[in-house]
């Protein structure tokens, strides 16, 4: 390739009372106005009134991404702080009562809640989404098939939802358990190429399953709006450095998989079974899991699995090296899920405080 792929990041947040840590079921109108004033076109509505999304511009480097998110998060924190509001970026809130949260009243979201009912009402969750641009002429479904095996590794690097309804869920990413209740939100269908994707989409539209402008919410998907592949499996990351490392590592993997010399990832039914099994293990055990490795399908630790990725796709840029170094650090020191479980000994309030404290860390990966 003549130049690295561009990328973008989307991060979702819950609005919480800064003093109590409770999710704001009815945020004052001034809160959303302040978010819109500060973020402008980078503000996006989400499913619930208590939720906002920060959508980045297109980046060329992790340095650009770090500068943008650090500045916007500082601005938001300062402005919302004067209103007694904080931004909660972990994938689930330990004590939020989802039944009390108000859906957003726009037509799009009203239709969403009408269609998916209790599944939608329970989905008080934050995700991290990463878009990576794919050059014209490259089949995005074939790229997805090549990177699919590695998706659970990105989930275990991001896990931040071990608690639900005030209880330990037994999963490091309970968010992805809830995502499994939705249609078209797990691993993508086994579609060989873009033509197969179009036929599948047309079938669902023709039979009334998917609207003309409807989306799939797969763990990775070809974006409908942009010429990108979009990583959607990850939990929200309170620490900016963790989110940037995941974005950098995913961009590196996509860049490797669109090069003419890249080896096609096995896409047999057996490999999909392996990916599905690793996905479940990543949801439950996070970095402490034992996974089915790439070579001879032997058991491998999370650190060994990352080493296999980097051996097959060696880093070839400063950004990729920094992302890989920080990913190793996450696997040594733990994710937000583990910090939350450690804080739980002091109560749910301590868990919220831990997540809000992580949010204030604006360092770059590496």
CA 258 to chain centre: 22
> Would you say residue 269 has pLDDT above 80?
no
Q: Residue 187 and residue 279: Cα distance in Å, rounded?
A: 9
pLDDT at 97: 86
> Would you say residue 272 has pLDDT above 60?
yes
* Structural domains of the chain, ranges and CATH numbers in brackets: 7-359 (3.30.590.20)
Weakest-pLDDT range from 93-107, 129-143, 172-186, 314-328: 93-107
> Would you say residue 216 has pLDDT above 90?
yes
Identify any residues that bridge with 12 across adjacent strands, giving them in sequence order.
53
pLDDT at 47: 87
Q: What is the mean pLDDT of the chain?
A: 93
User: Would you tell me how many other CB atoms lie within 10 Å of the CB of residue 211?
Assistant: 11
pLDDT at 77: 94
Q: Residue 189 and residue 205: Cα distance in Å, rounded?
A: 16
Q: Residue 152 and residue 283: Cα distance in Å, rounded?
A: 8
pLDDT at 252: 97
Instruction: Burial-class residue 333 by CB neighbours within 10 Å (0-12, 13-18, 19+).
Output: exposed
pLDDT at 1: 46
Give the residue carrying structure tokens 């086994």: 190
- Model confidence over 109-128: pLDDT tens digits? 888 899 889 999 999 999 99
Judge contact between 77 and 221, C-beta under 8 A: no
Beta-carbon contacts of 167 under 8 Å, excluding residues fewer than 6 positions away, are: none
- Model confidence over 304-350: pLDDT tens digits? 999 999 999 999 999 999 999 999 999 999 999 999 999 999 999 99
Q: Residue 319 — φ and ψ, nearest 5°?
A: -60, -45
In the chain, % of residues over pLDDT 70? 97
Tell me the mean pLDDT in the region 152-166.
97
pLDDT at 112: 86
pLDDT at 321: 97
Give the residue carrying structure tokens 């704001």: 24
Tell me the mean pLDDT in the region 40-63.
93
Alpha helical stretches, state H, the chain = 29-39, 62-81, 107-121, 140-147, 151-158, 174-179, 194-206, 240-258, 269-285, 302-312, 318-333, 336-343, 348-359
- Model confidence over 177-207: pLDDT tens digits? 999 999 999 999 999 999 999 999 999 999 9
The DSSP letter of residue 315 is -
Judge contact between 132 and 5, C-beta under 8 A: yes
Judge contact between 231 and 129, C-beta under 8 A: yes
Judge contact between 22 and 29, C-beta under 8 A: no
- Model confidence over 231-248: pLDDT tens digits? 999 999 999 999 999 999
Tell me the mean pLDDT in the region 44-48.
88
pLDDT at 105: 84
């Amino acid at each position: 390739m003549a130049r690295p792929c561009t990328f973008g990041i989307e991060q979702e947040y819950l609005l919480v009372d800064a003093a109590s840590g409770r999710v704001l079921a009815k945020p004052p109108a001034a809160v959303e106005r302040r978010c819109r004033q500060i973020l402008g076109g980078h503000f996006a509505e989400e499913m619930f009134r208590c939720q906002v999304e920060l959508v980045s511009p297109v980046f060329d480097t992790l340095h650009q991404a770090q500068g943008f998110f650090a500045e916007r998060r500082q601005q938001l924190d300062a402005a919302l702080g004067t209103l007694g509001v904080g931004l909660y970026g972990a994938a689930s809130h330990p004590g939020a009562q989802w039944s009390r949260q108000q859906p957003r009243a726009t037509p799009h979201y009203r239709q969403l809640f009408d269609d998916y009912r209790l599944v939608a009402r329970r989905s008080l969750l934050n995700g991290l989404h990463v878009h990576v641009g794919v050059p014209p002429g490259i089949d995005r479904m074939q790229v997805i098939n090549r990177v699919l095996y590695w998706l659970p590794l990105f989930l275990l690097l991001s896990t931040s939802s071990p608690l639900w309804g005030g209880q330990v869920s037994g999963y490091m990413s309970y968010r992805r358990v809830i995502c499994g209740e939705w249609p078209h939100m797990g691993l993508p269908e086994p579609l060989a190429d873009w033509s197969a994707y179009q036929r599948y989409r047309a079938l669902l539209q023709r039979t009334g399953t998917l609207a003309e402008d409807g989306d799939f919410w797969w763990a990775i998907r070809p974006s409908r709006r942009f010429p990108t592949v979009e990583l959607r499996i990850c939990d929200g990351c309170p620490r900016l450095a963790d989110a940037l490392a995941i974005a950098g590592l995913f961009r590196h993997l996509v860049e490797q998989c669109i090069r003419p010399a890249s080896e096609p990832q096995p896409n047999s039914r057996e490999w999909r079974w392996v990916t599905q099994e690793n996905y479940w293990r990543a949801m439950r055990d996070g970095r402490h899991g034992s996974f089915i490795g790439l070579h001879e399908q032997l058991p491998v630790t999370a650190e060994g699995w990352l080493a296999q990725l980097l051996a097959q796709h060696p880093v070839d840029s400063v950004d990729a090296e920094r992302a890989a170094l920080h990913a190793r650090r996450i696997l040594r020191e733990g994710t937000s899920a583990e910090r939350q479980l450690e804080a739980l000994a002091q109560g749910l309030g301590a868990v919220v405080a831990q997540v809000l404290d992580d949010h204030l860390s604006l360092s770059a990966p590496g």
